[in-house]
Structure 1
């Protein structure tokens, strides 16, 4: 059947509205296109032919597109991708009850600026395949990438040779790389235990490639990673403060994206002197903490022990005080939040959970919410609206090019209580 694509769905699939009132989702189709499709049931259809292409349709820049499990919408121009992501976040907030969404100028990363990646590797006939998983399939060897920093991508070729020589790699494993200010930081997991030969090979590789640290993650996820090779001090700066991130530490995907989030948060703080402490929830290693400290005293809370230790050790001489606290089991209470000059939270993908109930009970005047999940944002924003909060500001940030992922920074405020005579 032939249909007209009217919009994009949350997964980037073209949406066609049918004469009978139904809808079809067509992966690979763009708004404004006339396409011929094959319905497959459940409101889904396969794209068979593009009759009238959209002016926003472009040729994928990567030869691996369609096989590699990374980029999913490289046929979509980047300007359209940014408009679509702004629309996703805007509609989530409208569904939460905010009819008027004040959107600031959105921000989008440049290609080849991503500084962290989680890869898989498998032994193959010719050596090692290192890359991302094929959609619902095996590892696709990353012979090309238009997302990663060039220095990070250049490391993949020698990594293949090294992994091929490791006795601990029987069938395969996983590898996380963070490009810290001190250099590449590797966290390795294999399907065999590392022995003396593995440690010797890893130490030689670290020295040869100028990698400050290589760590090994045991099969049990709760075990602390072991440093198997270290050639130099591991460090990374947040807002001019040097920290020592643990293996596998969370970093924003790009340096410029981290700065965009930081600036959006700082611009959301009260313009005048902040009355009360800034309470930061889910602080991590200090991505925002030390920037917030330029505006007031910061009470930073983090549940992950390794990240907390990193933050605590860097707090000396700053206006940041770190607290180790599982915010899902032991949230900061409403009576403490009520006295805050501002509450800043960057919750995990699932949202703020039990902590949000304490925020809505405490009713601090300013809540700055950093979101990586529009679905969780919609749920949490609805609770804030029911508690009397207004949405004052929205900044959409696209750090994940050619994907469905989107981040945002929202400022929620509530009117101050009336003054007594």
Structure 2
């Protein structure tokens, strides 16, 4: 028989749902906030239904978006942003503690403002009489993004015109994907469809680019993504500036979510570097097209490794005259081995979401004294840094950057060292 219980939300689960204990067993409630007291119906299968919110948590707020609960993004809009930053900071700290580090420094943290996200990955789908463009709801279809409090206004303003032009394309027979990056030169669009673009489709996209000042529009096959992209229309130069250095990123290139977070991550990495002279080698792994490479080149000589050919080619072309050397290398299949770090003064790595376990094993067995790890996944950070802890490294500094508002994603910059001199200055 179903039962009615009153219970308080104890904490957030790993996926951001509220954790409640029922008969000393955990259950998870979407959109609940620690401190909420609720009346719940518990079924025989332990399915939990919220009947009433008896008293809200002090950290509970009203969602700012009318699409909350429908759209697949922003699953934590019922929680105040300062509380979310505190939770994400805790996720990173706990990951390091579970990796075996007993002494940790104070954690620095920063949170970006709303409406600053400059990189969005959307899906679109033809429906009777219209085309919807937005994010997938949880395990469901595409929800039309009619408003968003995360995305930069310049990108949000493009969505209605994009719906119009996409609905007119012969290549859009069902659905597809759309990625937009707001580079220094303006919006850059990468379109993916099942069917190939017809000549009339290309004419329409070129006109769209001219009308909306889109420097470049590219396309790739959704069915055969391994074939790469082709540029459909280009109205002007495409570049992203890191200070005075301008690089031409490839279509769909990786870009930190906001300008504020790009600057915060780069500054955290620079602050984490040991004292260097301008010839000291910095080995950078998973370099992308230069988000960290260019700023670090002001401190030392950067040896940048990246597996994505178009990204490392863009860095090589744009970094002429800088203290940067580039190498195309798939670090998942061919990681640098321990002896290849022999001359490195410091190693900096920014791996993908899955982390860099194989590469980290070789780093841990090397003689390098200082390591800076940029993480977008606390679970991968825990697993990878456990190898460093066993190898005798300690945590020197930790910064948490919340660049994905109202989500469960947590970005961190962690520096590890074996230098007793540097550790003596650590603030705990």
TM-score scaled to structure 2, two decimals?
Answer: 0.94
- Kept in 2, the 8 Å contact 1:25–1:44? The answer is no
Residue 257 of structure 2: aligned partner: 253
Residue 378 of structure 1: aligned partner: 382
Structure 2 residue 31 is the aligned partner of structure 1 residue 28? yes
Query: What is the total number of aligned residue pairs between the two structures?
Result: 416
Structure 2 residue 174 is the aligned partner of structure 1 residue 171? yes
- For the structure 1 residues 215 and 231, does the alpha-carbon distance in structure 2 shift closer, same or farther, using more than 3 Å as the test? same
Residue 51 of structure 2: aligned partner: 48
Structure 2 residue 213 is the aligned partner of structure 1 residue 210? yes
Work out the CA distance in 2 between the residues paired with 1:249 and 1:338: 31
- Kept in 1, the 8 Å contact 2:276–2:300? The answer is no
Deviation at 1:191, TM superposition (A): 2.2
Deviation at 1:324, TM superposition (A): 0.6
Q: Which runs of 5+ in 1 are unaligned?
A: none
Structure 2 residue 68 is the aligned partner of structure 1 residue 65? yes
- Kept in 1, the 8 Å contact 2:31–2:75? The answer is no
Structure 2 residue 112 is the aligned partner of structure 1 residue 116? no
Q: Which runs of 5+ in 2 are unaligned?
A: 422-428
Deviation at 1:40, TM superposition (A): 5.4
- Kept in 1, the 8 Å contact 2:111–2:403? The answer is yes
- Kept in 1, the 8 Å contact 2:287–2:293? The answer is yes
User: 1:286-334, CA deviations, whole angstroms, 9 ceiling, x for partnerless residues?
Assistant: 0000100111101000011110110111121000110111111211221
Work out the CA distance in 2 between the residues paired with 1:164 and 1:130: 10
Work out the CA distance in 2 between the residues paired with 1:139 and 1:9: 26
Work out the CA distance in 2 between the residues paired with 1:136 and 1:280: 37
Work out the CA distance in 1 between the residues paired with 2:409 and 2:149: 17
Work out the CA distance in 1 between the residues paired with 2:361 and 2:312: 23
SS at match of 1:249: coil
SS at match of 1:217: strand
Matching residue within 401, 404, 408 for 1:400: 404
Residue 243 of structure 1: aligned partner: 247
Deviation at 1:403, TM superposition (A): 0.5
Residue 220 of structure 1: aligned partner: 224
Matching residue within 102, 106, 110 for 1:99: 102
Residue 234 of structure 2: aligned partner: 230
TM-score scaled to structure 1, two decimals?
Answer: 0.95
- Kept in 2, the 8 Å contact 1:17–1:24? The answer is yes
Structure 2 residue 2 is the aligned partner of structure 1 residue 7? no
Work out the CA distance in 2 between the residues paired with 1:313 and 1:173: 32
Deviation at 1:368, TM superposition (A): 0.1
Deviation at 1:102, TM superposition (A): 1.6
Structure 2 residue 283 is the aligned partner of structure 1 residue 279? yes
- For the structure 1 residues 8 and 44, does the alpha-carbon distance in structure 2 shift closer, same or farther, using more than 3 Å as the test? farther
Residue 409 of structure 1: aligned partner: 413
- Kept in 2, the 8 Å contact 1:168–1:190? The answer is yes
SS at match of 2:260: helix
- Kept in 1, the 8 Å contact 2:31–2:76? The answer is yes
Work out the CA distance in 2 between the residues paired with 1:76 and 1:342: 39
Matching residue within 179, 183, 188 for 1:185: 188
- Kept in 2, the 8 Å contact 1:96–1:385? The answer is yes
- For the structure 1 residues 234 and 272, does the alpha-carbon distance in structure 2 shift closer, same or farther, using more than 3 Å as the test? closer
- For the structure 1 residues 272 and 186, does the alpha-carbon distance in structure 2 shift closer, same or farther, using more than 3 Å as the test? closer
